[in-house]
Structure 1
Amino acid sequence: MKINSNTKIIGSKTILVPYREYHVPNRYHNWMQSEELQQLTASQPLSLDEEYDMQKSWREDEDTSMIGDTNIFMTDKDNSIGEIEIMIAEKSALGKRFGWESVIIMMLYGIKFVNIKIFEAKISYSNVVSINMFKKLGFVEKSRSDMFEEITFHKIVTEDWVEWLDQQIRWEIENC
């Protein structure tokens, strides 16, 4: 994340910022105490100290891009395959297309600045909202894991798809 540690991505509904230490107690740690979010994101609750350690590792990990609660984890040595994750934790923000815009902004950033060629998304069987969103984004099912109760979707980046993504949202990049 060091390469984009001061990057702010601005959409029409959302602003994605680097995950800072002050986000841990004020938002993130509280969100991740929710059993529903733990199930939907296949996460385990962490202590506050463990959450601070996680935030620090994300900030210092050169292979991870984290902006707010939208992430791309690079899964190959060439940084051409990225696992995209999105979590909207605030109940009042659900159903307002913040996740849609955030994931598109993050993917466009990954395509244009990291040179990602393929995206993958691992989604819990029970997370119907995310499954439907990624299908609308053009992702197709690659595999299923009954053990982890998740579906792996993937999307190969094409010029036509990038143009379509660009038409979905307005965005810009700033240093913060």
Structure 2
Amino acid sequence: MLLNANIALSSSKALLVPYSSWHVPQYHEWMKDPDIQEATASEPLSIEEEYSMQRSWRQDADKLTFIVCRAISTGSEGDIPSQSQLLGESDSPASMVGDINLFLRIDDGDEGNSPPQIVGEIELMVAEKVNQRRGFGRAALLMFMRYIIQNQGAILDEFVGGGDVDVETVRKLKTGVETAGSSEGLSLECFSVKIGQANLRSLALFESTGFVRCSDEPNFFGEFELRCTDLSLGSIDGALDKAGVKGFIALPYGRTE
């Protein structure tokens, strides 16, 4: 997605930056790990294929992604980052810890005969074990959700205008908005995440941030789908505060491809 090409998200707990070509070598190294491949249901790619995937995530209208990095350090414990502190090394390989992605899709029921709804599926990875259990995943998830909720109008405009959603579906989506009496445009129905049944830590993380399992049993692939339907700014701001994520701001990201 082009919307976030020049935006970074900063807080006291993490820094999120657009996935750019200079992040690919480190990301490629992560994805060589069999444990990461299993956790993300991914196949190993060549470095050339990884660059191609990076361009896809940066340009495709149904995808939004950030690289998760360590928070900007101010040198004083408890200080909150400011705009002037985003430097070139803020998202260097040594600062990268993972990634977080949104994949937008149209959900019209198992039989395809329900009114279409827009669902945002989230994928989150904290790559190396040394960076796990340190709060990066929770901070990144809440920051990401905050950004999407605040900017969902522009995000969904790019999604439906990108050419992959057929005209009739767009018409039905907009008809549903008009029927509901909304004047604020299209909206997400919910956030969704799919997690392997053995990944207890991820299940606990998402359940503690408002996601609810759609069924008591995993699907054919051994995954649970969880959904979050409370997309209010008040709810997410409360979760950020509870998690100790302070100073959330959007910063200009001036580096170019």
Same fold (TM > 0.5): yes
Distance 2:252 2:126 in 1: 24
- Indicate the larger mover: 143-152 or 34-43: 143-152
Distance change in 2, residues 1:19/1:95 (3 Å): same
- Matches for 1:16-165 after TM superposition, within 5 Å: 16-25=16-25, 27-68=26-67, 69-76=99-106, 80-115=118-153, 116-143=188-215, 144-159=217-232, 161-165=235-239
Q: Which position in structure 2 is the counterpart of 1:175?
A: 252
Assess if the C-alpha contact under 8 Å between 2:142 and 2:236 holds in 1.
no
SS at match of 1:111: helix
How many percent of aligned residue pairs carry the same amino acid? 35
8 Å contact 2:17–2:66 — kept in the other structure?
yes
> Which consecutive aligned stretches of 4+ in structure 1 deviate over 6 angstroms post-superposition?
none
Q: Deviations over 1:119-141 (max 9, x none)?
A: 00011112111001011112111
Offset of residue 117 of structure 1? 4.1
* Cα distance in 2 between the residues matched to 1:163 and 1:15: 17
2:139, 2:240 within 8 Å by CA — same for their partners in 1? no
Counterpart amino acid of 1:48?
I
Cα 1:14/1:79, change in 2 over 3 Å: farther
**Could you tell me whether the CA contact under 8 Å between 1:104 and 1:165 is conserved in 2?**
yes
| Aligned-pair CA distance for 1:38 | 1.1
SS in 1 for 2:143: helix
Indicate conservation of the 8 Å contact 2:2/2:61, yes or no: yes
Bigger-Rg structure (1/2): 2
How much has 1:42 moved relative to structure 2?
1.3
- In the alignment, the residues of structure 1 paired with residue 134 and residue 144 of structure 2 have an alpha-carbon distance, to the nearest angstrom, of 17
Could you tell me which runs of 5 or more consecutive residues in structure 2 were left unpaired when the two chains were aligned. 68-98, 108-115, 154-187
162-171 or 35-44: bigger deviation: 162-171
**TM-score of the pair, normalised by structure 1:** 0.91
Q: How far apart are the structure 2 equivalents of 1:112 and 1:166?
A: 14
Partners of 2:45 and 2:127 lie apart in 1 by 16
SS in structure 2 of the partner of residue 87 of structure 1: strand
Greater share of strand: 1
For the residue of structure 1 that corresponds to 2:18, the secondary structure is coil
CA distance in 1, matches of 2:190, 2:138: 18
TM-score normalized by the length of structure 2: 0.64
